[in-house]
Structure 1
Amino acid sequence: MLFKRYYILLLLFFGTASAQYISTDDTRTPLQLIEDVLINSGCASVSNVSVSGGNFATGDTSYGYFNANGSSFTFPEGIILSTGKIIDARGPNYFISDDTAPGWTGDQDLNYALGISNSINATVLEFDFIPIGNQISFDYIFASEEYHGSATCTYSDGFAFLLKEVGTTNYQNLALIPNTAIPVKVTTVHPEILGGCPAQNEQYFDAFNGPEYPTNFNGQTKVLTARATVIPNTPYHIKLVIADEGNYRYDSAIFLRGGSFNLGLDLGDDRTLANRNPVCFDENLTLNATSVGAQSYQWNFNGSPIVGQTASTLTFNPPYSTTQNGIYAVAVTYSPTCTIVSDIELEFSPELQANQTSYNFCDTEGAQDGISTITLSDITPTLFTNLPATFQVNYFSSITSTTPLSNLFTLTTPFQQIIYVRIANNNCYNNIPVTLNIQVFTDTILDETLGICNNDPTILTADSGYPSYLWNTGETSPSIQVTMPDTYTVTIGNNDGCTKVKTFTVVGSEIATITDIIINDFNDNNSIEIIAIGNGDYEYSIDGVHYQSSTIFYNLSKLEYTAYVKDKNRCGIATHVFYLLQIPKYFTPNGDGFNETWNIRNLSERGFNQTIISVFDRYGKLLKQFSGNSTGWDGTYNGKNLLADDYWFSISNQGKELFRGHFTLKR
């Protein structure tokens, strides 16, 4: 607790801060504390009041009166019972309160109630009383120095509010977590402690306190109410006790709200949606405040008298409305100085008006088998015409199922299934059947890709024969005209209201421009590659009939071809004539008039207009030179016929050699 010691030094150094803290007073007698502070009512019949606590040499007490003193503390005033000096319970929260005193023992009744054996430093306030009504209650806050760090998970002082009929031996502990048998302690009421332990009954924990808090305790619970059913006009004994457990370190305290000890009537549990027990729309309800010795009754609603309702009972009959929701109280007067007010909160459930219990959905999944996934929360707003916003709707597979269906529910039977609606936070309603119908769209709808030539208008036509169309352009006709490349979708609806989406991918296109024909014709296997550019999707041909996606063609034997480049999107065909060179592999100068000379054809068509062809024998001797546009070589040298043999040649154009090869002279 170095934190607190550090701040007490700051307080001594800088002076008292301006924040307000509670005040305490130990001068009041035990009877005054009970009659004037805790009960503060002319209805009390109290006797045998006693108190015990620490015997401090300073004269301080461990019990007494407290006042909020203008601070933010929850209770304006009341009684404080502590395991230390009540003067040390005052804020600020700067130092450790861990007082003790000589001979300050524990309490056996507390030990028994909490199942412990080592209580010490017990402070006890007890008295007898006679209830007029059939219920007692009072409000309290438990605060402790043991609300700090991981100690919160392990250590706790103990306290109990022990009640029994006078003359009996068994006590009933009223200081319990609501609707449980768990005693209220540090270890049973706290949030999650990081690195320590998970939260325990966190909804009843108030806060860990900083230095400038009205009390000198590290934390406390929210306001809790101790409550018990009693027999009217029967003597009871109550023992309010708090003690340290194990050792005197780290004090704790109980703060009892002044005037909260109610000796009234039990009108029953609150009937609210939060408690899952509202008054049902078809239920008759009677609140009964009949009490022996009562002189008069006055029923009130939300703090105002209900005109004419002065009987001991108040009856409610359907139909109800939400305007009746609120706090109903009865003031029972026993004498001019004794009036007891008891109340109950009532909320009335409306009779739900069914709006729709059968729903049609489309199978949005690929199989179109009548099995689909439904978002159940989409149904809820249309189930009833008057569903309160606070009602929690759950869906179940059968009337006996206790496990709610997932919000994303996949049908288990095709095309139709009945599920059941239940109001989860209200027990007034039976299962309501809801029919889920699954419609299908079994027709096949295929996407399309097409081109648009130079932004010329083109028509997109969806599959015909359906009652509805909705394009992403906003148009609702089966066909639309477009002029720009883009992605267009149309939602097609069938007679069951189910839809499929067809996508048109419209790509921009244009006729190609052939920029080059790359010719490889100096090989045995002549080939060409067509080079074309343009914004289109093209295919290629060299006969205008057979097209291919490849731009390369092999095994070409003709001298002249036409290249065709066709746009697949019907934007046109580009053409280009090209020529291949023909290099004869042999010639036969034998005087028969056929194949008498050797030459290379199409040189000028290929643009080789300054071509020189040189012929050599196998030894490299130059035999003949001639231009590409001449008639060629006749197989003679110096006027004499050369022998049949292989001869070599070279082709040069403008002085640059293009190719070398050989051919055969046959006789």
Structure 2
Amino acid sequence: MKLRPAIFILLFLSASFSLTGQVTVNVGFTAQQLAQMLVGQGISISNVTGTGLQGSGTYLAGKFYGGLNDIGIDSGIVMTSGSALIAQGPNNQGSAGMGVGLPGDPQLTALAGVGTNDACVLEFDFIPQYDTIRFQYVFGSEEYHSFVASYNDIFAFFISGPRPGGGNYNNTNIALIPGTDLPVSIYNINFGHIGDCPGTACINCEYLISNCGNCQNGCASGVSVEYDAYTVVLTAWAVVIPCQTYHLKLAIADAVDASLDSGVFLEAGSFSSPGVTINPVYSTPGGERLAVEGCSYVDLVVSIPFPMSDTMWLVFDSIRGTATNGVDCNFINDSIFIAPGQLSNYLRITPVYDGTVEPTETLIFYYSSSSACTGTTFSSIVVYLADWNPIDIGSDTTVCQGTPLVYDAGENYRFYQWQDGSTNRYFIPNTSAPGTQTISVTVTDIYLCTSSDTLQLLVAPLPGAKLIRHN
């Protein structure tokens, strides 16, 4: 792990912008308040209880905000095996954790195969409106990367209730690696390790992001969470019977000892039972869940569980937000259809580059739907639009031979590539000989969007000595 030092530097021809987003954790909430933050479309909950939400004056669970640019989830609740406040980072401790003296959980112990400690549990009954439930989450841990083959803190999402087609879910874990029956865990998702650093192995590593700032391998994201690695955004889901009562238990605990913390971030409003689902799918190269001016777009994908024999229309009640439809992006119609026999369609939203530095903007799509359980419900989906930071190293320049000159590509880019292959922020041209040079640079920003700029540098020869005669 690495605490990033402050850097003071003289700017020449700079292009800069402000980084947004810092994970912030607040604590002191009841189990009811935490559970209610998770609830989205098509779900009603009751009988909420919490165990181990607080121990020895330390809160193991809380609400978090500002995580969009770092963990891919803007806000929600965080459950940990130690201190929820440690989760917010920055990642500046080699071994962050807090033992709070709480017992483990029997079901987690059975799943882990070893003893557990400091269990944090949130559980409740729920009634789904439709035939599927799901929610989104990110798991992170301080036990990455050193202990991928030994100490494995454990978490699970246990569901109980009637299965469609007969039988029952009986504390069935739905926190699984996509397309498998393997639980999401440090043992099942890792890079291996070389000392304290990520190694060269790949065990389902496409689902993992390293946050190890002082290591050579796999260091890919920011520092506003403490954990040495965390997963990409994953989805837990189960097929259910509409209008029936189910039980969900969300649980996390330390395994073997209580030294290092792990945590799971659950997205606000994502615990849902959708009929018609609406999901934003972003094309941003770095995987961030926002569309960047001049670089990427977002498809608002509307899906239904099964194909219809007739055309199905969805009409939005309204489109609002801080962005202006038709100004900050292409104009978006207030309706979309799904053709007969199809399962989905999409609206493409492309942000317009306006050269103005602004905070991340939103478009909020409001819509209503009907269910046999609850009648008409009202929902919304948010799309995020971010500024682009194109490179600008200035205009064509003429200088005298031997004039010192430095070009500055600006801060807040991840990568730099000058015409001579150098990869530093600054470029010092050779002005010792007269002639014309082409100066060009390509930069990659925090979203992995690229931009380039080119100029011509004319180095003029020094004037020759002029003999002056005096009478």
Instruction: Pick from 161, 164, 171 the counterpart of residue 165 of structure 1.
Output: 161
1:242 matched residue in structure 2: 252
CA contact (8 A) 1:24 1:67 kept: yes
Displacement of 1:68 in angstroms is: 1.4
2:131 matched residue in structure 1: 134
| Partner AA of 1:191 in structure 2 | F
CA contact (8 A) 1:124 1:242 kept: yes
Instruction: Pick from 300, 315, 318 the counterpart of residue 340 of structure 2.
Output: 315
Distance between the aligned counterparts of 1:261 and 1:303, measured in 2? 28
Displacement of 1:142 in angstroms is: 0.3
Change in Cα spacing, 1:51 to 1:265, as seen in structure 2 (3 Å) is same
1:256 matched residue in structure 2: 266
Change in Cα spacing, 1:157 to 1:27, as seen in structure 2 (3 Å) is same
CA contact (8 A) 2:58 2:100 kept: no
Instruction: Pick from 300, 305, 311 the counterpart of residue 335 of structure 2.
Output: 305
Distance between the aligned counterparts of 1:47 and 1:141, measured in 2? 25
Distance between the aligned counterparts of 1:60 and 1:186, measured in 2? 25
CA contact (8 A) 1:33 1:79 kept: yes
Q: How does 1:89-488 map to 2 (within 5 A)?
A: 89-95=87-93, 96-102=95-101, 104-112=102-110, 114-149=111-146, 151-165=147-161, 170-191=170-191, 193=193, 198-210=201-213, 213-265=223-275, 288=306, 298-299=313-314, 305-306=335-336, 315-316=340-341, 326-327=345-346, 332-334=369-371, 338-339=377-378
Change in Cα spacing, 1:19 to 1:261, as seen in structure 2 (3 Å) is closer
CA contact (8 A) 1:63 1:123 kept: yes
Distance between the aligned counterparts of 1:303 and 1:154, measured in 2? 54
Q: Deviations over 1:6-36 (max 9, x none)?
A: x49x89xxxxxx996321112322212222x
Displacement of 1:175 in angstroms is: 0.5
Distance between the aligned counterparts of 2:119 and 2:273, measured in 1? 27
**Would you say 1:26 and 2:51 are equivalent positions?**
no
1:47 matched residue in structure 2: 46
Distance between the aligned counterparts of 1:82 and 1:226, measured in 2? 18
Q: Deviations over 1:471-497 (max 9, x none)?
A: xxxxxxxxxxxxxxxxxxxxxxxxxxx
| Partner AA of 1:228 in structure 2 | A
Distance between the aligned counterparts of 1:174 and 1:261, measured in 2? 13
Displacement of 1:315 in angstroms is: 2.1
Change in Cα spacing, 1:170 to 1:98, as seen in structure 2 (3 Å) is same
Displacement of 1:299 in angstroms is: 4.0
Displacement of 1:173 in angstroms is: 0.7
Q: Deviations over 1:299-332 (max 9, x none)?
A: 479986346x7xxxx6238xxxxxx984499963
Distance between the aligned counterparts of 2:233 and 2:23, measured in 1? 17
TM-score, with structure 2 as normaliser? 0.54
Q: Deviations over 1:160-199 (max 9, x none)?
A: 0000118967211111111111111112112354586731
Distance between the aligned counterparts of 2:340 and 2:47, measured in 1? 40
| Partner AA of 1:216 in structure 2 | E
Displacement of 1:129 in angstroms is: 0.4
Displacement of 1:221 in angstroms is: 0.6
* SS of residue matched to 1:315: coil
Distance between the aligned counterparts of 1:300 and 1:288, measured in 2? 19
1:74 matched residue in structure 2: 72
Change in Cα spacing, 1:44 to 1:287, as seen in structure 2 (3 Å) is closer
TM-score, with structure 1 as normaliser? 0.39
Change in Cα spacing, 1:162 to 1:194, as seen in structure 2 (3 Å) is same
Q: How does 1:555-570 map to 2 (within 5 A)?
A: none
The one of the two structures with greater contact order (alpha-carbon pairs below 8 A, sep at least 6) is 2
* SS of residue matched to 2:159: strand
| Partner AA of 2:74 in structure 1 | P
| Partner AA of 2:139 in structure 1 | F
Distance between the aligned counterparts of 2:112 and 2:193, measured in 1? 25
CA contact (8 A) 1:298 1:331 kept: no
Change in Cα spacing, 1:337 to 1:246, as seen in structure 2 (3 Å) is same
Distance between the aligned counterparts of 1:214 and 1:162, measured in 2? 29
Distance between the aligned counterparts of 1:214 and 1:287, measured in 2? 37
| Partner AA of 1:210 in structure 2 | G
| Partner AA of 1:171 in structure 2 | N
Distance between the aligned counterparts of 2:336 and 2:306, measured in 1? 16
Displacement of 1:208 in angstroms is: 2.8
CA contact (8 A) 1:21 1:92 kept: no
Distance between the aligned counterparts of 2:126 and 2:253, measured in 1? 24
CA contact (8 A) 1:141 1:224 kept: yes
Q: Deviations over 1:365-389 (max 9, x none)?
A: xxxxxxxxxxxxxxxxxxxxxxxxx
Distance between the aligned counterparts of 1:257 and 1:207, measured in 2? 20
Change in Cα spacing, 1:60 to 1:138, as seen in structure 2 (3 Å) is same
Structure 2, gaps ≥5 residues long: 7-18, 215-221, 278-303, 317-331, 348-364, 382-471
* Structure 1 ranges of 4+ moved more than 6 A: 166-169, 300-303, 328-331
1:403 matched residue in structure 2: none
Displacement of 1:205 in angstroms is: 1.1
* SS of residue matched to 1:241: strand
RMSD in angstroms over aligned alpha carbons? 3.8
Structure 1, gaps ≥5 residues long: 12-17, 268-285, 291-296, 318-323, 343-667
> Percent same amino acid among aligned pairs?
30
CA contact (8 A) 1:132 1:233 kept: yes
| Partner AA of 2:206 in structure 1 | Q
* SS of residue matched to 2:241: coil
Change in Cα spacing, 1:115 to 1:152, as seen in structure 2 (3 Å) is closer
Displacement of 1:71 in angstroms is: 6.2
* SS of residue matched to 2:35: helix
Change in Cα spacing, 1:178 to 1:169, as seen in structure 2 (3 Å) is closer
| Partner AA of 1:223 in structure 2 | V
Change in Cα spacing, 1:106 to 1:75, as seen in structure 2 (3 Å) is same
CA contact (8 A) 2:112 2:255 kept: no
Larger-gyration structure (1/2): 1
Q: How does 1:635-650 map to 2 (within 5 A)?
A: none
Displacement of 1:263 in angstroms is: 1.4
Instruction: Pick from 85, 88, 98 the counterpart of residue 86 of structure 2.
Output: 88
CA contact (8 A) 2:39 2:270 kept: yes
Distance between the aligned counterparts of 1:34 and 1:109, measured in 2? 20
Distance between the aligned counterparts of 2:334 and 2:210, measured in 1? 35
CA contact (8 A) 1:26 1:60 kept: no
| Partner AA of 2:160 in structure 1 | K
CA contact (8 A) 1:25 1:64 kept: yes
Change in Cα spacing, 1:236 to 1:87, as seen in structure 2 (3 Å) is same
Distance between the aligned counterparts of 1:154 and 1:129, measured in 2? 36
Distance between the aligned counterparts of 2:68 and 2:129, measured in 1? 35
- Count of residues in correspondence between the two structures: 291
Displacement of 1:98 in angstroms is: 1.6
CA contact (8 A) 1:229 1:266 kept: no
